[in-house]
Amino acid sequence: MEKITVELTKNPKQKPVGDLPFGKIFTDHMFVMEYEAGKGWFNPRIVPYGPFSMDPAGVVLHYGQEIFEGLKAYRSPNGEIRLFRPEQNYMRMNKSCERLSIPLLDVDFCVEATKQLVELDKDWVPSTPDSSLYIRPFIFANDVGLGVHAAKNYIFCIILAPSGPYYPEGLDPVKIMIEDEDVRAVRGGMGYAKTGGNYAASLRAGERALEKGYSQVLWLDGVERKYIEEVGAMNVFFKINGVIVTPVLQGSILDGITRKSCIQLLRHWGYTVEERLLSVDELMGAAADGTLEEAFGSGTAAVISPIGVLAYGDQVCQINNGDIGEVSQKLYDGLTAIQWGKAEDPFGWSVKVCD
Ligand code: PLP
Ligand code: COI
């Protein structure tokens, strides 16, 4: 790969003070690289943050050939900046690329580009509690024309957003509605890929849930509408009768990096974790008879998000009296301690960027 060139901004922006929103403020620089069929990826560069110009017939506007990733840089108590399992994000990005016929990238090069960009904008990494620098790599087709086919030109870009918690509730339990009308993804579709279409498909149900006072939607499988899948921006876990259950990966949900880290941590601590099919009837039955002890979501943006209320049709169940459960709290503490470089990292997940 070519060397990454750097053009520094001539107009540094003012850095935010106080509470940070999620994903609304962006740093001074971004990473950009292009792809052309026959030539490969070229011209990797860090440039001042700014808009792309786009032709109205740009294919991504019409057919949605795009994918993205999400990871974070954390400022540890000794001032170091650290990433959490960044190679996992770029390995997953390649799986999304493959699904959407987008050319693959070199994982090590992407991690290196991320480190260089974060290091350049390191003064933007917040040090306030529960805040971090959200990193958004994405790729979009850059051909012009209305024919439906895989593009020959692409842009890969990484932008950085100093951010606070994704949910305004923070660690307070969220209310989730199980969706029985719309479906988000089916096996053989794009559910396992991180692509805009999956999120677009989720918006209508999300709006309906908000109107009814719920934060997000919990999806059922798209064929039988029977099995629990995932929430809009996180994977889900349930503690039923002492055992931790999470939906098995079958191609219709995201292979979450927080999910796999939670499974590894929980097993390391001696919990039994089952990755299996979990029907909504089993779940709501457990909620009704009191064997559903805890429920929580996991995600980069959401971290560990306890679920306090689950609604399915007319059935509304409170979980653990609407309080954060013991396992959710332990996972939140254990995971964030590793992410922020505050605790020993027995798995080698946390990667140093710079001091
Ligand atoms: N599921 C969906 C649909 C998501 O958007 C996310 C967020 O990235 C997750 C799950 C959690 O994945 P990760 O833990 O890799 O952030
Ligand atoms: C993430 O957790 O990184 C996500 O991408 C979730 C979301 C903001 C779509």
- pLDDT band for position 170 (50/70/90)? confident
260 vs 280: CA distance, rounded Å: 22
Residues linked to residue 259 through DSSP beta bridges, in sequence order? none
Is residue 1 scored above 80 in pLDDT? no
Distances (CA, A) of 210 to 103, 284, 355: 37, 21, 42
Mean pLDDT for the stretch of residues 160-169 = 90
Residue from 69, 166, 215 whose mutation best tests the ligand 2 pocket (most atoms within 8 A of CB): 166
What is the greatest pairwise CA distance in the chain?
A: 63
Residue 187 has pLDDT above 90, yes or no: no
Residue nearest to atom 5 of ligand 1 (CA): 233
Report whether residue 300 contacts ligand 2, using a CB cutoff of 6 Å: yes
**Per-residue pLDDT, 268:** 96
Statement: the pTM of the whole predicted model exceeds 0.75: yes
Say if ligand 1 is within 6 A of residue 258 CB.
Answer: yes
Cβ of 135 closer than 6 Å to ligand 1, yes or no, is no
Mean pLDDT of 199-207: 96
Sorting pLDDT into bands at 50, 70 and 90, what band is 244? Answer: very high
Confidence of residue 167 (pLDDT cuts 50, 70, 90): confident
CB of 193 closer than 6 angstroms to any ligand 1 atom: no
Name the closest ligand to CA 249.
1
Nearest to 255 by CA among 105, 69, 64, 114: 69
* Averaged pLDDT, 146-168: 95
Q: Which of 32, 37, 29 is closest to 13 using CA atoms?
A: 29
CA distance 15 to 25: 9
Mean of pLDDT values over 164-184: 90
Q: Whose CA is nearest to atom 7 of ligand 2?
A: 233
Ligand 1 atom at shortest distance from the alpha carbon of 300: 16
**Model pLDDT, residue 129:** 86
Closest CA to 279 of 207, 174, 180, 212: 180
273-311 pLDDT per residue, tens: 999 999 999 999 999 999 999 999 999 999 999 999 999
pLDDT at position 169 over 80: no
Nearest to 24 by CA among 98, 121, 127, 134: 134
Per-residue model confidence as pLDDT tens digits over 9-46: 999 999 998 899 999 999 999 999 999 999 999 999 99
* pLDDT tens by residue, 330-342: 999 999 999 999 9
**Alpha carbon nearest to ligand 1 atom 2, residue:** 233
Q: How far is the CA of 233 from the centre of ligand 1 (A)?
A: 5
Torsion of CA 241, 247, 249, 251, to 10 degrees: 160
**Residue 73: strand, helix, or coil:** strand
Confidence of residue 172 (pLDDT cuts 50, 70, 90): confident
Ligand located closest to 234 CA? 1
Question: Is 322's pLDDT higher than 90?
Answer: no
Q: How far is the CA of 202 from the centre of ligand 2 (A)?
A: 13
For 59-98, write each residue's pLDDT tens digit.
999 999 999 999 999 999 999 999 999 999 999 999 999 9
Share the mean pLDDT of the chain.
Answer: 96
Ligand closest to Cα of 88 equals 1
